[in-house]
Structure 1
Amino acid sequence: MTPRIATVLLGLSALLPFLSTAAPVRGEQALALGLPLACTPGEDCWVVRLSDRDPGPGFTDYRCGGLGSDGHDGTDFALPDPARMRAGVPVLAAAAGTVRAARDGMPDQPPTGQLAHDFGRLSCGNGVLLQHEGGWETQYCHLRQGSVRVRPGQAVAAGDALGLVGMSGEANFPHVHLGVRREGQTIDPFTGTPTTSPCGKAGTPLWEPELRAALDYVAVPIAIVGLAGYVPSHRDIVSGAAASVGPRPDTPLVGYVLAYGLKRGDRIGITVTGPDGTVVSRASFPVEEEAPRASRSAGRKAPPGGWPAGTYRVEASVERGDARWSKSRELTLTQ
């Protein structure tokens, strides 16, 4: 993951010190942002980390929640797993501008989520920095090695492809980190205000109006729900390997989930139901510590004679006090 993207791209200095004002920056020269990658939010990509609004140690997002980590200075749009990344998902210019800097050639981290390649100060990995009118900049980090297709000085239109989503730099899951700045000051695109301003105060988002509902706040994004024919490890779920070993009539039937933004005291539930609607298995797991990303799995061995043919459903949920988030998936078994 990218707890701090404080190093800009080749040939650029570090981020300028924050300015003292906390006033909204939306106005005549405001930046209107589109999606920074080709996906459908909530279906095949998720906002999994937001900008830090806490001036001291600790983290709070613009809604005074905990979707992120201390010092994180942008918005992370994640893909479900590295298999989707390998298929190729374009990183898009969120607004028209000029390429100020670009970097490529850094290796992607392994699909297992372990940081195996050294990135030094270049935590952004392969990336692109765009300059926009009115003193605005947008930065795109963790692009796939060899995919950057723009060069400094090149003009780009909103929606133009800059490269592909990857896992370069400090990235242990496939995503694009979008940083937004105006005259060196980090801006939260969900409020249009500097990240130095307090959380919980209303602002005008920089996102294009038609995007705002799709990017509505979700405290616990559930990215992956599936059924496997064995008990998958966290590594298998993260890498997408679990999705390639589906259940058969004679194998275990195991539901699994991968979710972001989990907090101590949350409870994860996994319920698998059979073709006739009866519960095949149900399990509940307490979350005992903060978990920016966590997985769980539960199920049953095949009964004598195997699982009957039909459609099976797995529902994964996360409960936090009175709040509940859930996602389900179906899979059909044939004899």
Structure 2
Amino acid sequence: MARDFQLDLPIDCVLGETCYIQNYVDHDPSEAASDFQCGALSYDTHNGTDFGLHSLADMDAGVDVLASASGTVRGVRNDMRDVIYTPDLAGEINGRDCGNGVVIAHGDGWETQYCHMKEGSVVVQTGDIVETGDILGEVGLSGRTQFPHVHIVVRRDGNMVDPFDPDGQITCNEPSDVTLWHLPLDTPLGGLITTGFADKVPEYLDVKAGTAAASELSANAPIVLWAFAFGARPGDLLHIAIDGPDGPLFETDDVLDRQQALFMRAGGLNAPDAGWQSGIYTGVVIHSRDGIELDRQTATVTLP
């Protein structure tokens, strides 16, 4: 199956650096959810793969959605506004959960659908012929979504196919090496999205917006290191440490107590009476599970 039809990334980004995979296809037939690795990066009845941006600021700057394979555009929607979904918007969405999007027919029963694109950004029309990598529009926040991403659905003869496990024969801890992706994709079980410094614990909405990080702090203000991450499971460990010009200043280990798709943690110190020493301060955040490091990020800030 994978040899007959292959996909490129549906988004113009560097996976693991400027974007990440938030959710996969749900393979659990019950009301629970399980991804192709028997992990928790999915939710009940989720029928696609979510390639997410780090922040709303990245979305505003513009990130292209790309055709994953060549084909003919079968349908387009381009007029829904970009807004974080809340239950009071159900009437406005009225079943159009995909938001703005594009459907492409590829032949031999294959079809891809691209959802949650930015209002007014779609540049193709029904009937257009597209090649692999052609720009379809931009990543947005339309439809039923709470973070900027492109949700790609793959179907054959009307049936949903998981591009990471097209035969659907799940073996826990041994994911299939036969996929629909033209090149192998890294699929971490969780990790860090962004990390930064601030003079207080930032508001979660500011972290999601991409406006929480400070490039410079005051000598008399608190120094706080925060982390925005995905794929939390109970028992995961988030290690947060800050080093100043003369060495270690702060260190803590936060044991996570519940499963969360997206989450934020922070730690830091109030300024000493004499104020912070001028120089460069470095923060390190490490996300671990069962003693294995999933991800780490480093941030720096300057104190004048």
Q: After TM superposition, is the score higher than 0.5?
A: yes
Query: Could you tell me whether the CA contact under 8 Å between 1:247 and 1:253 is conserved in 2?
Result: yes
Map 1:184-199 onto structure 2 (within 5 A).
Answer: 184-194=158-168, 197-199=169-171
Alignment partner of 1:103 is 2:73: no
1:45 to 4, 12, 19: 19
Alignment partner of 1:151 is 2:107: no
Q: 1:45 and 1:261 mapped to 2: Cα distance?
A: 14
Q: 1:238 and 1:115 mapped to 2: Cα distance?
A: 19
Q: Which residue of 1 aligns with 2:266?
A: 297
Query: Could you tell me whether the CA contact under 8 Å between 2:215 and 2:301 is conserved in 1?
Result: no
Q: 1:262 and 1:310 mapped to 2: Cα distance?
A: 34
Map 1:82-161 onto structure 2 (within 5 A).
Answer: 82-110=56-84, 117=89, 118-161=92-135
State the Cα deviation string for residues 288-327 of structure 1 (Å, max 9, x = none): 2221111111111122333223222222222221322232
1:332–1:266: structure 2 CA closer, same or farther, 3 Å change rule? closer
* SS of corresponding position for 1:66: coil
Map 1:1-335 onto structure 2 (within 5 A).
Answer: 25-27=1-3, 30-110=4-84, 117=89, 118-194=92-168, 197-200=169-172, 202-209=176-183, 212=184, 215-243=185-213, 246-276=216-246, 278-335=247-304
1:189–1:88: structure 2 CA closer, same or farther, 3 Å change rule? same
* SS of corresponding position for 2:16: coil
RMSD: 1.9
1:239 CA drift (Å): 1.8
* SS of corresponding position for 1:311: strand
1:305–1:172: structure 2 CA closer, same or farther, 3 Å change rule? same
1:48 CA drift (Å): 1.2
Q: 1:115 and 1:147 mapped to 2: Cα distance?
A: 25
1:199 CA drift (Å): 4.4
Q: 1:295 and 1:173 mapped to 2: Cα distance?
A: 14
Higher strand share: 2
Q: 1:268 and 1:203 mapped to 2: Cα distance?
A: 30
Q: 2:26 and 2:171 mapped to 1: Cα distance?
A: 9
Normalising by structure 2, we get a TM-score of 0.92
Runs of 4+ in 1 over 4 A off after TM superposition: 113-116
1:221–1:134: structure 2 CA closer, same or farther, 3 Å change rule? farther
1:289–1:330: structure 2 CA closer, same or farther, 3 Å change rule? closer
Q: 2:301 and 2:275 mapped to 1: Cα distance?
A: 14
State the Cα deviation string for residues 127-162 of structure 1 (Å, max 9, x = none): 111110221111110001111111100011111111
> Unaligned 5+ residue runs, structure 1?
1-24
State the Cα deviation string for residues 167-201 of structure 1 (Å, max 9, x = none): 1111111111011111111111112324xx43445
> Unaligned 5+ residue runs, structure 2?
none
Give 2:39's aligned amino acid: G
State the Cα deviation string for residues 59-85 of structure 1 (Å, max 9, x = none): 111111111111111110111000010
1:244 CA drift (Å): 5.2
% identical equivalent positions: 36
1:31–1:248: structure 2 CA closer, same or farther, 3 Å change rule? farther
Number of equivalenced pairs: 300
Give 2:276's aligned amino acid: W
Normalising by structure 1, we get a TM-score of 0.84
Task: Pick which of 258-267 and 39-48 moved more.
Answer: 258-267
